[in-house]
Amino acid sequence: MTTVYQSKRDAWIVVLIWGGALLSVYVALAQFTGTASFLFKASMLIFLGSAAFFMLWVLYSIDYTLNDENLLIRCGPFRFSVPLAAIDSVSPSHNPLSSPAGSLDRLMIKWNAERKRILISPSRKTDFLQELDRRCEQLTLVGDRLVRISPGN
């Protein structure tokens, strides 16, 4: 069974991305009032219009799919896969590092003996944690985090 969770989006991040996208389009269109060549103007319009599209694509395409074996993370053209059996812990975080998350209300997932990590921000965080708890035999839900059960317990 597959379950898809959308990313939570903080209002300030949405405003920041939309502001950047609109500024890019404005700058591109403003080039048409100058004396530069048509080729330069068209190139700027294409480049800055593409940048605006890319920013919005990334913001509105973030989701997290749980299937029987993996957590699949999608963010614009970027794709990540985390094997469920390799997850060591999932804990709340407000770490601002770049990640496939539209909010600072995040979960840090650590896997492969905690050598790898990724930050995500599912909009239904409690449901996501409960679903992950059901799918990952090696983890147990303790409050608002999932922790690896030590062998022999």
| Cα-based distances in Å from 118 to 43, 49, 71 | 36, 30, 11
pLDDT at res. 107: 97
The helix/strand/coil state of 31 is helix
pLDDT at res. 33: 74
Under-70 pLDDT residues of the chain: 34, 150-153
Q: Hey, what are 86's tokens?
A: 């390799």
Distance CA 137, CA 36 (A): 63
Query: Are 96 and 13 within 8 A, CB to CB?
Result: no
pLDDT at res. 151: 61
pLDDT at res. 29: 80
Beta strand pairing call for 3-6 and 63-66: antiparallel
Neighbour count for residue 106 (Cβ, 10 Å): 24
Query: Are 72 and 65 within 8 A, CB to CB?
Result: yes
Q: State the amino acid at position 49 in one-letter form.
A: G
pTM metric for this prediction: 0.86
